Chain A
Amino acid sequence: MEKLFFSRLMFIFFLASLSTQAQEFIVYKTEGSPTNTIDSSTKTLKKGALVKSGTIELLKDNKVLFVDQEGRLYELNDTGKYNVPEIKSYPKPFDEDTFSKKYFTYVWKQLKGAENTKQHTGNVYRDNLLDILIEPKDSIRIFSNEITFSWNEKKPNEYYYFFLRNNTTNTLSKIGVYGNSITLFVDDVLLTKGNSFAWGVSQKEFPNFTQIKFNAFKYLTAADYEREKNEITKLTENLLQLGLTQKQIDQELCDFYNLCH
């Protein structure tokens, strides 16, 4: 009797493990910033992330494509919250055009001569990204107890949404602000030393993040800064010998060596 009970128990565990496995999804592609919340922890979904439990939240213009262990695709593209097991209910519709339909459509277009080349305009476009960020500039290392972010000198009195993405913890913070600057202080909540960040601004509450510029920066710990500083001791000494003041040297290091404080 005990053996029978034990074997049944094992069988139930086996089935349970199979059903758990079946609910694993890998993020294949994302648009916008869809999130996965498990208990009270929220993470932005990124390509390659493994999703097992919790809820998926999609804001406006967000989209996420999952792939399961069998290679089937699932797509969430409507705003809302979804439990992870629900993903199975949203299989990505296959390209419904059959092979023959595609082929004969192509033949028809060729017969009609409908496949023209596109317009050639002979210019380049530089207005794709909203690039109004001033400081901190892109790809720098900062050591400071406060950082002042500034942007768009031309429209200093308008309302902006300031976005701070913590690349280390995969979290995104949004702050509404009148004016074209904001100062944040190290607090281990928004700004944590040792983490990597990216920041950007938009006048839309829910912007398309592929259309706005983000400047990345690494927020150095005291140990990081000392190590970086030691690496450039010779350079600093040379600059001092050239007659530059410490303030000028700091500015040079920030401008050309991307190490700011």
Chain B
Amino acid sequence: MKQSFKLLMKDAGLCLVFSVIVIYLISFLIVNLSIFNPFTNAFKDFSFLDLYYSQEMFDKKPVKDIVVVNIEHKDRFQIHQLIEHVKKQKPKVIGLDIVFKDKKDSYVDSLLGNSLQPDNVILSKAFLGKSWAYNAAPFIKNPELVGYSNLNFNLKTDVIREFEGYQNISDSTQTSFSTLVSKQFLEDKWNHKRMREKLSKPIPINYSGTSDQFFTFSYQEFMETDTHPFLKDKIVLIGYLGTPHNNYYDIEDKFFTPLNIKTAGKSPPDMFGVLIHANIIAMLINNDFIKVIPNWAILFITGIISYLALLYFMYASTKKPVSYMLNKKIVQLLFTVFLLWFSLWLYKINILFKPELIIAVLVLSVEFIGLYKILIFKLNKRYKWKSYFFQD
């Protein structure tokens, strides 16, 4: 009995190694053969955890410290008027998610340039891979108050799930637009050392919501009212939110996020860039970060769970062969459903636990028991290989 259990343990371990090798080879083929491109592309941007947002499992609370004003397609003079009107409301920080790349009318440019000079106005620039898109000469100001507006430096995925607050580009450390706005807002409460360390690598964005959760104003809505008393000491972001305001079909400066109602397949982008910045800023100023379970821990858990599953199903395949197939399918389904529920629940309490690897290895390794048996049978015949399945 003891010998039999030892053999079972050995077989479960070998079957796990065999499964991992086969899974690796299959995934290698799928990733590298162009015939599988549709599958590769479909899975590239997929995460089970997107269900948390797409199925609206998050708390829909209004974000009250950030207000977003839409510039629509207004000209520079109108944007100047908007900025002046925003300033009258005495917000603590004004962030402009706009790049005035070229000079236009020198009079209007000088008016706008003057509006941008106060220290509580943060501007943006864009890193285009090899070069920068900066503001033109009339809008230049202290470079420490100009941050990059890039949302992703990981070019393998189109879904904006992560954010990097600091980047080393061209031998200098650059700071993101959202980081600068948050730093300016928190002033002394901003822990330079801790934040520098934390934001120098990609961190998941803890989304607060869509435009429904933020105060957003169309240009006209904002300009029509003389005073907006609640804007005092708040953050006002000025950027593009579609024309007309919040237009679902307008995809200029719009990106894919986990909040897209479709987690996979074809769909239009769902969130304007300035709203993604607003979500990042909300996360930074509220210190509402997501803790990430490290990859080594995921690998360890994958190994343990898959090994235990193989032990059970190898045992069941010999002792209860009739019910084995049915049990296997039910357990695979229930395990997937409950592991996904568990990882979503962890996400709800701000812990990122990626379940994809565990689900893939467990489900496939259990399926490979039959293949493993064939392999062991041949080894047993040729080399008298001792196995739980072929005991003398």
The residue in A46, A69, A103 that gathers the most chain B C-beta atoms within 10 A of its C-beta is A103
Q: A170 at the A/B interface (Cβ < 8 Å)?
A: yes
Q: B104 at the A/B interface (Cβ < 8 Å)?
A: no
Tell me the interface secondary structure of chain A in the complex: mixed
User: Which residues from A are CB-within-8-Å of B215?
Assistant: 28, 47-48
Is B344 in contact with A103, judged by CB distance below 8 angstroms?
yes
CB distance from A196 to the nearest CB of B (A): 7
Is B221 in contact with A46, judged by CB distance below 8 angstroms?
yes
Identify which of B230, B341, B345 contacts A26 (C-beta below 8 A): B230
Is A103 in contact with B57, judged by CB distance below 8 angstroms?
yes
CA distance A102 to B54 in the complex (A): 11
Size category of the B interface is 20 to 34
Q: A172 at the A/B interface (Cβ < 8 Å)?
A: no
Q: B170 at the A/B interface (Cβ < 8 Å)?
A: no
What are the interface flags for A191-233 relative to B under an 8 Å C-beta threshold, 1 for contact and 0 otherwise?
0000010000000000000000000000000000000000000
Size category of the A interface is 20 to 34
Q: A106 at the A/B interface (Cβ < 8 Å)?
A: yes
Number of A-B residue pairs with CB-CB distance less than 8 Å in the complex they form: 55
What are the interface flags for B227-238 relative to A under an 8 Å C-beta threshold, 1 for contact and 0 otherwise?
011110000000
Q: Which residue from chain A places its CB closest to the CB of B333 in the assembled complex?
A: A111
What are the interface flags for A123-158 relative to B under an 8 Å C-beta threshold, 1 for contact and 0 otherwise?
000000000000000000000000000000000000
Q: Which residue from chain B places its CB closest to the CB of A104 in the assembled complex?
A: B341
User: Which residues from B are CB-within-8-Å of A95?
Assistant: 56, 60
Q: A26-B230, A50-B229, A71-B64 are in contact. Are A99 and B337 (CB under 8 A)?
A: no
User: Which residues from A are CB-within-8-Å of B217?
Assistant: 47-48
Q: Which residues in window 39-73 of B have CB below 8 A to A? A: 51, 55-57, 60-62, 64, 67
Q: B131 at the A/B interface (Cβ < 8 Å)?
A: no
CA distance A49 to B345 in the complex (A): 37
CB distance from B331 to the nearest CB of A (A): 16
Q: B329 at the A/B interface (Cβ < 8 Å)?
A: no
User: Which residues from A are CB-within-8-Å of B295?
Assistant: none
User: Which residues from B are CB-within-8-Å of A28?
Assistant: 62, 215
Q: B106 at the A/B interface (Cβ < 8 Å)?
A: no
Q: B188 at the A/B interface (Cβ < 8 Å)?
A: no
Q: B224 at the A/B interface (Cβ < 8 Å)?
A: yes
Q: Which residues of B contact A (CB under 8 A)?
A: 51, 55-57, 60-62, 64, 67, 215, 217, 221, 224-225, 228-231, 337, 340-341, 344-345, 348
The 6 closest A-B pairs by CB, nearest first: A50-B229, A26-B230, A167-B224, A48-B228, A99-B57, A67-B62
